[in-house]
Amino acid sequence: MQTVGREARAASRTLAAASTDAKNSALVAMAQAIRDSRDALLAANAADLAEARAAGLDEALIDRLTLSAKGVEGMAAGLEQVAALPDPVGEITDVKRRPSGIQVGKMRVPLGVVGIIYEARPNVTADAAALCLKSGNAAILRGGKEALRSNQAIASCVRTGLAAAGLPQTAVQVLETTDRAAVGALITMPEFVDVIVPRGGKGLIERISSEARVPVIKHLDGNCHVYVDDHADPAKVLPIVENAKTQRYGTCNTTESLLVARAVAPRFLSDIGRMLAARNVEMRACPEALALLREAGIEGARLSPATEQDWHEEYLAPIIAIRVVAGLDEAIAHINTYSSGHTEAILTEHYTHAMRFLREVDSASVMVNASTRFADGFEYGLGAEIGISTDKIHARGPVGLEGLTSQKWIVFGNGEIRR
């Protein structure tokens, strides 16, 4: 791993100075290599799948591991999309002249070497390589052992693209070892690795965060909230609650807890309850909400009392926690106590309630009158997404190319010395 790290560090110097043209040419050449290698990629993936099935791995994992012809084309198209994004590196901003005479500003620069640790999905290999390259970073990628053959086949296309553009092939290194110790080494060499981005389940992320000696851009839970304020517009409530909870159950920006202001709970909870029941969403409600939902005829397995644990839960399933709160203050307090800091929305027509919610809720994304499902790099216009950060330091919320960069200070002088 020391050798891998040293080569990545050396490649990162070249990449930091690489022209936008060279990086884009490499991305386009990678896309071409992937299309040209479709059969080889599918064969490698079939071998991985056969082994995974023989080992009795579960269907969800098999599903994530599977690469189809469409998936191969998707990877190639994704590389071309990243080529089309603006290059963040080298951008100079905020230049100001100081009383001393110097002009001080900032220049956007790559982080250096990015380590990405992921699980079964082989498309992450192409995706992560593209984002790191475009942002001028060398990448060390370590995928799941189930996807080893698929990842190595993709890595070969990535190297073909780098070589075609005259960039060092060590700019993207896909580890061939599936040894767990390699991960341990990767996350503890700050001299060679500037940041780690784990992509995968909570277990992976927690383990890496607790063992890393390198900064980690991490995404833990998405326990997202919608708060229906006492000044909510009735026309917006049902569509947004429905979309936020039921459009997709397994995504991190799906709403898991619904808070309703006491003054409007009788008005809205019956409609919300019936809508959720019709979609087979299980409701876990506080005593007050429970009573209102029962009055509306919701009963049986679909409705049960919420426990303290429910307010903490990221269900990733057709289940929602529902609580009646006194109003805005209690809603903010509830969210700041139980939320994982991912995404929260207020539904209100009250200006000051909206502005206070935006200011006082301590989450990565805070919304007024919109579905939490919008918390996404593409919806936010980042053009790409390496992940969604629930950290506060460096990058918060959806992380695009800019999140893989930093800014250094630049000084344009004319012979000034300090007095």
CB 178 within 8 A of CB 118: no
Q: How far is the CB of 357 from its own copies (least distance, A)?
A: 10
Q: Which is nearer to its own copies, 156 or 188 (CB)?
A: 188
Among 120, 290, 366, 399, binds its own copies (CB under 8 A): 366
- One-letter-per-residue 3-state SS of 248-300: CCCCCCCEEEEEEEHHHHHHHHHHHHHHHHHCCCEEEECHHHHHHHHHCCCCH
**What backbone torsions phi and psi does residue 216 show, to the nearest 5 degrees?**
-120, 130
What residues numbered 172-211 form the site for its own copies, per CB under 8 A?
Answer: 194-195, 210
Based on CB atoms, which residue is closest to its own copies, 47 or 185?
185
Residue 191: HSE in the Cβ half-sphere, 13 Å Cα cutoff = 8
Residues 324-353 that bind its own copies (CB under 8 A): 336, 345
What residues between 11 and 40 interact with its own copies by CB under 8 A?
A: 13, 16-17
Q: Which is nearer to its own copies, 194 or 313 (CB)?
A: 194
Q: Do strands 172-174 and 255-261 pair parallel, antiparallel, or not at all (unpaired)?
A: unpaired
C-alpha closest to that of 346 among 166, 383, 329: 329
- Residue pair 318/281 in contact by the 8 Å Cβ criterion: yes
Q: In what order do the strands lie in the sheet containing 113-118?
A: 172-174, 138-142, 113-118, 195-199
Least distance CB 300 / its own copies (angstroms): 28
Give the shortest CB-399-to-its own copies separation in angstroms: 11
Nearer to its own copies, 108 or 159 (CB): 108
Neighbours of 243 (CB within 10 A): 18
Nearest approach in angstroms of CB 415 to its own copies is 4
Count of residues in contact with its own copies, rule CB under 8 A: 69
Q: Which is nearer to its own copies, 206 or 295 (CB)?
A: 206
Instruction: Give min distance, CB of 213 to its own copies, in A.
Output: 7
Strands ordered across the beta sheet of 282-285: 303-305, 282-285, 319-325, 255-261, 224-228, 343-347
User: Per CB under 8 A, which of residues 271..300 are in contact with its own copies?
Assistant: none
The answer to whether the CB of 105 falls within 8 A of the CB of 98 is no
Interface of this chain with its own copies, residues 231 to 260, rule: CB under 8 A: 233, 235-236, 239-240, 242-244, 247
* Listed ranges 65-73, 106-114, 150-158, 161-169: which one lies at the site for its own copies (CB under 8 A): 106-114
The answer for residues whose C-beta is within 8 angstroms of residue 310's C-beta and 6 or more apart is 257, 284, 321
Tokens read off for 118: 């992921």
CA distance 134 to 67: 24
CB of 362 vs its own copies, minimal distance in Å: 7
Q: Which residues bind its own copies (CB under 8 A)?
A: 13, 16-17, 90, 96, 98, 100, 102, 104, 107, 109, 111-112, 194-195, 210, 213, 215, 233, 235-236, 239-240, 242-244, 247, 336, 345, 356, 358-360, 362-371, 373-375, 379-381, 391-394, 396-398, 406-418
